[in-house]
Amino acid sequence: MSRIGKQPVAIPEGVTATVEGQKVTAKGPKGELHFVVNDEVLVKLEEGSIKVGPRDETKGSRSKWGMSRTMVANIIDGVKDGFEKKLEINGVGYRAAMQGSNVQLSLGFSHEVVYQVPEGVSVACPKPTELVVTGIDKQKVGQVAAELRSYRPPEPYKGKGVKYADETIFRKEGKKK
């Protein structure tokens, strides 16, 4: 029995949600998102909340139940508040700057890394060593943050690289004489 899937997804004020067959659509102040739930999962709109449950007691439908509920909750949170990921850049000479809608990164390579930000996500650079990725789709925000981090992930000896703001780097001791 899914503990996450059992909980109904409350629809807050300012957000309208509709369920048409297997398609859940949410409209709010930040925009509109939709998610198509798997056929093995049943979705109902009841009394200002969305309830998700398995169609039958097979292992496949039970395993998709909790994930479907989480995806529905994410689209409702996204159209209401949006999502945000913060990245920090550590290292001498490592910096980021906005170049129109692209992000220009200096990460110790012989060339500048230019990252083209996809549609639906915005990247801000309040400081040269800080990036803020925002958007209404949680998956896209996380993917953009992961791609920016992948250009120079943090290394364990000095901690240089691009890391999430809440990430801790396990430091290693260097060579001994």
pLDDT along the chain (177 residues), means of 10: 84 92 93 93 90 90 91 94 95 93 93 94 94 95 96 93 93 87
Predicted pLDDT of residue 3: 84
State pTM to two decimals.
0.89
* Check whether domain 3-80 has CATH 3.90.930.12, yes or no: yes
Collapsing DSSP states into helix, strand and coil, what is residue 39?
Answer: coil
Of residues 102, 140, 103, the one with CA closest to residue 121: 140
| Domain at 83-164, CATH class | alpha beta
Predicted pLDDT of residue 177: 78
Predicted pLDDT of residue 1: 63
Task: Please state the domain extents for the chain.
Answer: 3-80, 83-164
Give the helix/strand (H/E) hosting 140.
helix 138-150
Predicted pLDDT of residue 126: 94
- Beta strand extents in 37-117 (DSSP E only): 41-46, 49-54, 83-90, 95-99, 102-106, 113-116
